[in-house]
C-alpha cells in the first residue's frame, strides 16, 4: 500500500443456514448504501435457505450475478425491487480457511452474522471454526471487534440460550431476528427492515431502515394523517 492510500476495512457479513435470507439482503443493501465495503461469507447450509426462500442458487463461480439478483429481491420475492451496486463486495468461499477474514491481521470493522443458525451460535460459542464463517467470528471476538449475532430460531432450547449467554459474555451483541410493530409496519419489507436496522444499530452503522420511536404512542402509525 502506498503512503496516503486508505486501507479497505470491510464489515464481514456471514450468512448462515437459518431462515431469514431477506434480513441478510436488507443488511447488505444498507451497508453498501452507507458506503461501507463488505466481505461476504455464505455458509453451505445457507445456500439451501436461499434456494428455498428466493429460488436463487448461490454459486461461488458466479457470486456477483447471484448476489445482484438476490439483493434486487424484496421480501415478497419480487425481482427488480431494488438496484444495488455490488462493487464494494468481496466474496470468500465458506470452505476457504485461508481467506482474509480467517486472520486477525486482516483489517475489518467487525462482523455481522445475519441470520445466525443455532448451529452457528453453538460453533462460535464453542470456538469450533468448522468453516470460514465460524473462524471469522472467532477472530472478530479475539480481536475485540464488534460481533453482531442475529439468531433465528423458535423456540430456543436451554443449550442455545447458554451459547447466547457465552457470546454475550464474550462481547458479542445478540440481536434476535424478532420484528417489532411500533414502527408503523404495513408490509413484510418493513418488518425485515426493522430487524436489519437493529442489526446495524448494534454495529453503529447509520441507516434509515425504520422509523425510530419518538416517545409518542401511535407515532409510528403509517395510516394516521395527523
Ligand atoms: C429451509 C431450512 C430452514 C432452516 N431454518 C433454520 C432456522 O430458522 N434456524 C436454525 O437455527 N436452523 C435452521 N435450519 C437448519 C440449519 O440450516 C442447519 O442447522 C445447518 O447445519 C446450519 O449450518 P450453518 O450454521 O453452517 O449455516 C434450516 C434448514 C433449512 C434447510
Q: Taking the model in full, what pTM does it have?
A: 0.96
d(CA 69, CA 168): 34
| pLDDT score recorded for residue 189 | 97
Q: Which atom of ligand 1 is nearest to the CA of 43?
A: 27
H or E element: which one contains 175? Answer: none
- Cα(72) to centroid of ligand 1, in Å? 23
Q: Are 32 and 88 in contact (CB under 8 A)?
A: yes
| CA–CA separation, 171 and 21 (whole Å) | 25
pLDDT at 218: 85
Question: In the predicted model, is pLDDT for residue 164 greater than 70?
Answer: yes
153 CA: nearest ligand 1 atom:
9
pLDDT band at 181 (very low <50, low <70, confident <90, very high): very high
Give the C-alpha distances (Å, rounded to integers) separating 31 from 13, 140, 185.
10, 18, 22
How far is 143 from 110, CA to CA, in rounded Å?
A: 9
Cβ < 6 Å from ligand 1: which residues?
16-19, 43, 45-46, 48-49, 52, 117-120, 152-153
Separation CA 203–CA 149 (nearest Å): 10
Residue 219 has pLDDT above 80, yes or no: no
Ligand 1 atom nearest 52 alpha carbon: 1
Domains and CATH numbers, the chain: 11-203 (3.40.50.1950)
Start-to-end CA span in the chain (Å): 55
| pLDDT at 5 (0 to 100) | 67
20, 45, 129, 161: which to mutate for ligand 1, most atoms within 8 A of CB? 45
Q: To test the ligand 1 pocket, which listed residue (14, 15, 17, 121) has its Cβ within 8 A of the most ligand atoms?
A: 17
> From the CA atom positions of the chain, what is the Rg in Å?
17
Tell me the C-alpha to C-alpha distance, in Å, between residue 139 and each of 36, 87, 145, 172, 197.
Answer: 20, 25, 9, 12, 24
User: What residue owns the CA closest to ligand 1's atom 18?
Assistant: 17
Q: How far is the CA of 204 from the centre of ligand 1 (A)?
A: 27
State the pLDDT at residue 1: 63
Please answer whether residues 50 and 24 qualify as being in contact, where contact means their C-beta atoms are separated by less than 8 angstroms: no
Burial zone of 29 (CB within 10 Å; 0-12 exposed, 13-18 middle, 19+ buried) = buried
Which residues are CB-neighbours of 145 under 8 A, at least 6 positions away? 108, 109, 110, 111
Tell me the pLDDT tens digit for each residue of 99-111: 999 999 999 999 9
Distance 158 CA to ligand 1 centre (A): 18
Q: What is the pLDDT of residues 59-73, one digit of tens each?
A: 999 999 999 999 999
Report, as an integer, the average pLDDT of 36-56.
98
Question: Dihedral of the CA atoms 192, 163, 46, 195 (nearest 10)?
Answer: 10
Binding residues for dimethylallyl phosphate: 182, 198
Question: Does residue 195 contact residue 179 with C-beta atoms inside 8 Å?
Answer: yes
* Residue 144 C-beta-side C-alpha neighbours within 13 Å: 0
| Beta carbons within 10 angstroms of residue 84's beta carbon | 18
Residue nearest to atom 1 of ligand 1 (CA): 49
Nearest CA to ligand 1 atom 30: 49
Ligand 1 centroid, distance to 116 Cα (angstroms)? 9
Amino acid at each position: 500500500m502506498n503512503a496516503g492510500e486508505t486501507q479497505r476495512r470491510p464489515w464481514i457479513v456471514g450468512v448462515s443456514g437459518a431462515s431469514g435470507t431477506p434480513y441478510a439482503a436488507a443488511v447488505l443493501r444498507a451497508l453498501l448504501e452507507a458506503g461501507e465495503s463488505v466481505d461476504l461469507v455464505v455458509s453451505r447450509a445457507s445456500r439451501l435457505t436461499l434456494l428455498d426462500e428466493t429460488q436463487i442458487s448461490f454459486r461461488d463461480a458466479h457470486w456477483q450475478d447471484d448476489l445482484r439478483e438476490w439483493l434486487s429481491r424484496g421480501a415478497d420475492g419480487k425481482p427488480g425491487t431494488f438496484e444495488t451496486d455490488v462493487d464494494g463486495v468481496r466474496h470468500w468461499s465458506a470452505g476457504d480457511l485461508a481467506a482474509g477474514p480467517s486472520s486477525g491481521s486482516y483489517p475489518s470493522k467487525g462482523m455481522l452474522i445475519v441470520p445466525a443458525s443455532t448451529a452457528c451460535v453453538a460453533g462460535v460459542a464453542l470456538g469450533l471454526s468448522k468453516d470460514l464463517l465460524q473462524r471469522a467470528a472467532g477472530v472478530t471476538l479475539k480481536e475485540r471487534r464488534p460481533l453482531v449475532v442475529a439468531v433465528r430460531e423458535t423456540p430456543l432450547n436451554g443449550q442455545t440460550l447458554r451459547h447466547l449467554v457465552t457470546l454475550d459474555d464474550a462481547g458479542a451483541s445478540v440481536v434476535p431476528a424478532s420484528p417489532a410493530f411500533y414502527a408503523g409496519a404495513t408490509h413484510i419489507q418493513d418488518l425485515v427492515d426493522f430487524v436489519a436496522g437493529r442489526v446495524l444499530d448494534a454495529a453503529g452503522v447509520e441507516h434509515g431502515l425504520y422509523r425510530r420511536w419518538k416517545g409518542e404512542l401511535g407515532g409510528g402509525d403509517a395510516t394516521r394523517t395527523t
